[in-house]
Amino acid sequence: MNTPEWLKPGIYGAVIGAVFVGVVGFTWGGWVTGGTANDRAMAMSRDDVVASMVPVCLEMAQSDPARAEKLETIRAASTYQRRDALMEAGWATVPGTDAPNRDIAHACLAALDVDALPERAESAVDEG
């Protein structure tokens, strides 16, 4: 097939323009593939579920009769083992499941702020 000479610059321009639009769209335009969009949606939903379960974890910690002992165990653990100690306390176990969730334990530990909690002196005498 013989293409007219005047058509070649138009074809080259269209191809170069399409490549340029694609590169600009994916780098600066915010375009993403379906896989990336799915990964982002899954991460956002996981973060939302964890955020919604932190109040449950805090309520479980607040209403636990052995709260003082468990807090001491968590405080005594090294910084990188506190999440595991909170999981062993049972506060990161979502009602209806058998195993604790690591992400919920991490978020609950941050919300609990174990180091900032006042010591619970139950045997202290009120000198009022």
pLDDT, tens only, 19-47: 999 999 999 999 999 999 999 999 999 99
pTM of the model: 0.69
Return the half-sphere exposure (C-beta side, CA atoms, 13 A cut-off) of residue 106. Answer: 6
Q: How confident is the model at residue 123 (pLDDT cuts 50, 70, 90)?
A: very low
Of 10-24, 89-103, 111-125, the least confident: 111-125
Alpha helices (runs of H) in the chain, residue ranges in sequence order: 8-27, 34-63, 67-76, 82-89, 102-112
Q: Which residues of 45-66 are buried (b: 16+ CB within 10 A; e: fewer)?
A: eeeeebeebbebbeebbeeeee
